[in-house]
Structure 1
Amino acid sequence: MSVTRILGLLMPTIIALYGVYQAINQVLLPAQIAQISPSGKVHYMAIASLVESVVGTIILPVGAAISDRTQTKFGKRTPWLLFSAVGTLITCLIMATAKSIPVVVIMAGFVWFFANWYQGVIYAVIPDRIPENYRGLASSAAGLGLPFGILIFVNIAARTSRFVGYAVVGVFIVLTTILFVVFAREDSSIRAKVEVQEAQETSETEEAPAKHTAFFSAFLHRDFTMAFLSRFLFFFANFAVSNFTFYILSDYIGVKNLPSANVAANVATVSTFSTVAQIIAIIVFGKLADVLDRRKMIVALSSITYMVSFIVPLVSKTWVGMLIYAVISGAASGVYFAVDIAVMSLVLPSKADEGRDLGILAIATSVPAAVAPLVGSTLLDISGTYASIFVFGIVTALLGGLFAFLIKSVR
């Protein structure tokens, strides 16, 4: 099966995945929490984000590791993609009807359970089925999933009822998954499992044993650790600000200074500006990374640019300042996503555990998603201003770029 066909069917599934994440965390969840508890919205949003991310941190590598060892005639990834997609739909529909903070938080955890299981499995398809010389293209295709997920589903969520918003993101992930598993059918994993074991045995016979069985043994490899830390800090900067976009616009910029009193619609506008810049950056730098073979440099550059974006709202506390921030941060994240998956796939130490180790690298997304909102909430309590959150983003983005430079095996 051609690489183009696999990627053409893979990209909509990743769009659907990020549609779930972004529509919920940028619009649906903060609006739902603000409606239930206007005075405690920041605190409860941080708690919900913590629950989401703790659940995601645990299940993402575990779900991927389970799929690594699954043997069926339909392949090792297919059964779990269908399971987690349907689970995401069902829990989204239940969450849409929640009317109390405890139920909202619990259901957010369930949605993230299934969505992160899905993420761990769907990203493992890239090292499974995409040759290394096409990893830059694969990274760009996967990277486009985030901006298109925002562009499509944040706008839908901002302009429809709560139930419709939750239903749309849930249904779309099921439909795209069905299309992927049917038209980019995976080979049986029964024979593949035997071949991997035989290859390992041969390798161990010919060379000194280098087999690590511990779940987190990938951290024994320096470049894997550097890639993890760089990704961790990049997303720490990201979530420290993005999870509070709804409240930054309503409280920091001020409703009276926005184009309309509809904060959700203004969130969608900011997201759209960011997304357009992101898409352009992914297309340009994904190709440039392959031509120059300088993926590490591009990752570091994106972190530094991200740092610059956080300076804008500090010096321009206006609606226009937020739009400029959106464009710069969108471009920075687009540059990052253009090469992110390629870099991660090239530092994986074990062929037999690619899904697990890719899932562990993805923890560098879920842990910041958990901790950054709590850090942001604490900074806000201490300083009394959202400016402190932007300063935090500046520091973490800079550190993320420095760790990217320390990766040795990727140019």
Structure 2
Amino acid sequence: MVLAYNLYLVTDYLGLTTKAAGGLMSAAILVFVAAAAVAAATTGRWSDRWSRRKPFVAGASLLVLLAVLAPAAAPEAWAYLLFFLAAGVAFGTYTAVDQALMVEVLPGGSEGAKDLAFLNAANALPQILAPGAAGLLVTLLGYPGMFLCGGLAAAVGAVLILLIKRVR
């Protein structure tokens, strides 16, 4: 949701000019990518070494919940950058470990391709719906409400991951 409304968030919510917004958005994306790369490179190995998937994926979701609190509470550039740093770590962790978790919960057998297609659709659908949901949330609740609803969705995701029985 944040990426879809990034320019509006920085200009309307943080109050920056379009020129200043470009610089802050560029810095935020660099912070996000660097944090995601470091997290992906480390957490995947840790997950394999400890034979644990759920704590990493649920932890990444809970980190998103914590990350949204900064910009929801403070419409400032530092809070925006802090959000992108934490979101980058969460995204890198999630990307590195979630695929392994999904493969481990699949029943196996000749239905594997169908199951992977279903999982792919389950991952893509929220990305398709998020921009529309963000617009509605910003209209109804403002930008802080959008952040908090995103955090709530991440928390629900963490709980659902922890309910998986077949994987540690």
Same fold (TM over 0.5): yes
Q: Which residue of 2 aligns with 1:344?
A: 102
State the alpha-carbon separation in 2 of the partners of residues 354 and 265 from structure 1. 45
Q: Which residue of 2 aligns with 1:299?
A: 57
SS of residue in 1 equivalent to 2:19 = coil
Q: Which residue of 2 aligns with 1:308?
A: 66
State the alpha-carbon separation in 1 of the partners of residues 127 and 95 from structure 2. 17
Q: Which residue of 2 aligns with 1:386?
A: 143
* Partner AA of 1:330 in structure 2: G
2:72–2:145 contact (8 Å) kept in structure 1 = no
SS of residue in 2 equivalent to 1:294 = coil
Q: Is 1:357 equivalent to 2:109 in the alignment? A: no
Q: Which residue of 1 aligns with 2:7?
A: 246
Q: Which residue of 1 aligns with 2:154?
A: 397
Give matches, 1:20-169, under 5 Å.
Answer: none
Q: Which residue of 1 aligns with 2:167?
A: 410
2:24–2:77 contact (8 Å) kept in structure 1 = no
Query: Which 4+ stretches in 1 moved above 6 angstroms?
Result: none
Report sequence identity in percent. Answer: 28
State the alpha-carbon separation in 1 of the partners of residues 157 and 9 from structure 2. 24
Q: Which residue of 2 aligns with 1:372?
A: 130
Superposed CA deviations along residues 185-241 of structure 1, whole A, max 9, x for unmatched, are xxxxxxxxxxxxxxxxxxxxxxxxxxxxxxxxxxxxxxxxxxxxxxxxxxxxxxx22
State the alpha-carbon separation in 1 of the partners of residues 21 and 109 from structure 2. 47
Q: Which residue of 1 aligns with 2:45?
A: 287
Which consecutive residues of structure 1, in runs of 5 or more, have no partner in the other structure? 1-239
Q: Is 1:317 equivalent to 2:75 in the alignment? A: yes
2:67–2:83 contact (8 Å) kept in structure 1 = yes
State the alpha-carbon separation in 1 of the partners of residues 64 and 99 from structure 2. 18
* Partner AA of 2:4 in structure 1: N
Which consecutive residues of structure 2, in runs of 5 or more, have no partner in the other structure? none
Give matches, 1:218-233, under 5 Å.
Answer: none
* Partner AA of 1:242 in structure 2: L
Larger Rg: 1
SS of residue in 2 equivalent to 1:254 = coil
Q: 1:255 aligns with which of 16, 25, 49?
A: 16
Give the C-alpha shift of residue 341 in structure 1. Answer: 0.8
Give the C-alpha shift of residue 361 in structure 1. Answer: 0.6
* Partner AA of 2:12 in structure 1: D
State the alpha-carbon separation in 2 of the partners of residues 354 and 381 from structure 1. 41
Q: Which residue of 2 aligns with 1:266?
A: 24
2:73–2:144 contact (8 Å) kept in structure 1 = no
State the alpha-carbon separation in 2 of the partners of residues 344 and 356 from structure 1. 13
Corresponding pairs, count: 168
Give the C-alpha shift of residue 265 in structure 1. Answer: 4.4
State the alpha-carbon separation in 1 of the partners of residues 41 and 73 from structure 2. 30
SS of residue in 2 equivalent to 1:283 = helix
* Partner AA of 2:104 in structure 1: L
* Partner AA of 1:254 in structure 2: G
Give the C-alpha shift of residue 262 in structure 1. Answer: 5.4
SS of residue in 2 equivalent to 1:271 = helix
TM-score (norm 2): 0.92
Give the C-alpha shift of residue 246 in structure 1. Answer: 2.2
TM-score (norm 1): 0.39
Give the C-alpha shift of residue 376 in structure 1. Answer: 1.4
* Partner AA of 2:42 in structure 1: V
State the alpha-carbon separation in 1 of the partners of residues 60 and 40 from structure 2. 11
* Partner AA of 2:129 in structure 1: V
* Partner AA of 2:75 in structure 1: K
